[in-house]
Structure 1
Amino acid sequence: MSGSLRLLERAICYTQESMDAVVAGFGPLPTPCSGWDLHDLLVHVNDSLTVLQQGADLGFIDRYPLRDGLDGCRDPTSVLVTTFPARARRLLHACADAAQSDGRIAVGGMQIAPALVMVSGAVEIAVHGWDISVACGYHHPIPATLALGMLSLSQLVVDNWMRESLFNAPVRVSPLASPSDQLIAFLGRRPVA
């Protein structure tokens, strides 16, 4: 298994733990993602898994995971939580197949190596897992080894376009901050005290 696929798998496992903190009926809770409540965030995370899986299967991503409008999805939070594992499994299978090929994935007119798509997906999924945990009052830091791996790689894959689409400007934190807090801050979120 490639390092990028393993990183994606670990990000999904971490986010599943955050999903386990979601209680049936949650939905309008605020999240660290400005303008999104917990329900919106769960819709986005599930949509991200599907878009990434389709990119790995088809070799192109022709739409970005929902950011505005959230497609009018009104599935209850309980359905969105139970949908996550199946979508995550499909994504991991598609990425394992894509990692075996020499192909590229077309994203926004660029041909990108599947490994970079997996890294980008891992960063987004893990950070949204952190967002979910904070919204639920659970505050589950990203494990140090996972956060360190994603921090170094995210500095390579998070460009201005990705930052404008998904993340805010970096937030300053102490150099002594935990790896989780450093990653969260790099991606524009304020660590929880």
Structure 2
Amino acid sequence: MTATLPASVELLDRALEYTHSRLAEVRGGLLDRPTPCDEWRLSDLLLHMEDSLDAFTEAAGGQVMVHLTLGTEGRIAAIEEKACALLGAWARPGPGDVLVGGLDLASPLLVATAALEVTTHGWDVGQATAPARIPADLAAALLPVAHLTVAPVDRGVRFAEPVRVAPDAPDDVRLLAFLGRT
């Protein structure tokens, strides 16, 4: 797990780069395609991604508020703009720990969690459009983040149960399996 904010920001940059390539495959006619997330269409996932980017960007200011996002027009452009804003917000000096829903989180862990979220949903987008594996070095860096941040209480709510894979499976396969994806 990355221990410093600059290391977490670098991890986030790699996650955004991977996800940007997956978003480049999204076309209007694909928005009704299913994703690996049960009962979610690609349009639902894109709305969730935009909201997540807003939340992680707000966290750079020290606190996260809840916002509702409506509509799907211009979604990819909005996500890409917000992804740049997220990286920019965390690349400058941060607030230290961040208050999220009453929890006090260390900035490096929060930014590494953003990288995990961005990468996972980038992979989800790819499954609905043009699948591409998560780069091995990115997956290896995100595995400890996933183990630190996904708790048993998240199962069935935010994540499916882990999928069994061989212990020597590649890091991307082990990461996705831990997050309940196949």
Q: Same fold (TM over 0.5)?
A: yes
CA distance in 2, matches of 1:154, 1:181: 13
What is the 5 A alignment of 1:16-27?
A: 16-27=20-31
CA distance in 1, matches of 2:69, 2:86: 23
CA distance in 2, matches of 1:161, 1:89: 32
Change (3 A) 1:39 1:186: same
C-alpha displacement of 1:133: 0.3
- Alignment partner, residue 65 of structure 2: 62
Residue 60 of structure 2 aligns to a residue whose secondary structure is: helix
Matched, 1:96 2:91: yes
Number of aligned residues = 178
Kindly indicate whether the alpha-carbon contact (under 8 Å) linking 2:51 and 2:69 is maintained by their aligned counterparts in 1. Answer: no
Quote the sequence identity (%).
Answer: 36
Residue 111 of structure 1 aligns to a residue whose secondary structure is: strand
More deviation, 113-122/163-172 = 163-172
CA distance in 2, matches of 1:34, 1:72: 20
TM-score normalised to structure 1 length: 0.85
- Alignment partner, residue 166 of structure 1: 158
- Alignment partner, residue 173 of structure 2: 181
CA distance in 1, matches of 2:16, 2:155: 21
TM-score normalised to structure 2 length: 0.90
- Alignment partner, residue 84 of structure 1: 79
C-alpha displacement of 1:166: 2.4
CA distance in 2, matches of 1:8, 1:104: 17
Change (3 A) 1:72 1:112: closer
Structure 1's consecutive aligned runs of 4 or more residues displaced over 3 angstroms after TM superposition are: 160-165
Residue ranges of structure 1 left out of the alignment (5+ in a row): 66-70
C-alpha displacement of 1:50: 0.7
1:166-191: CA deviation from partner (whole Å, max 9, x where unpaired)? 2211111122322111110000111x
CA RMSD of aligned residues (A): 1.8
- Which of these residues, 119, 144, 150, is aligned with residue 136 of structure 2? 144
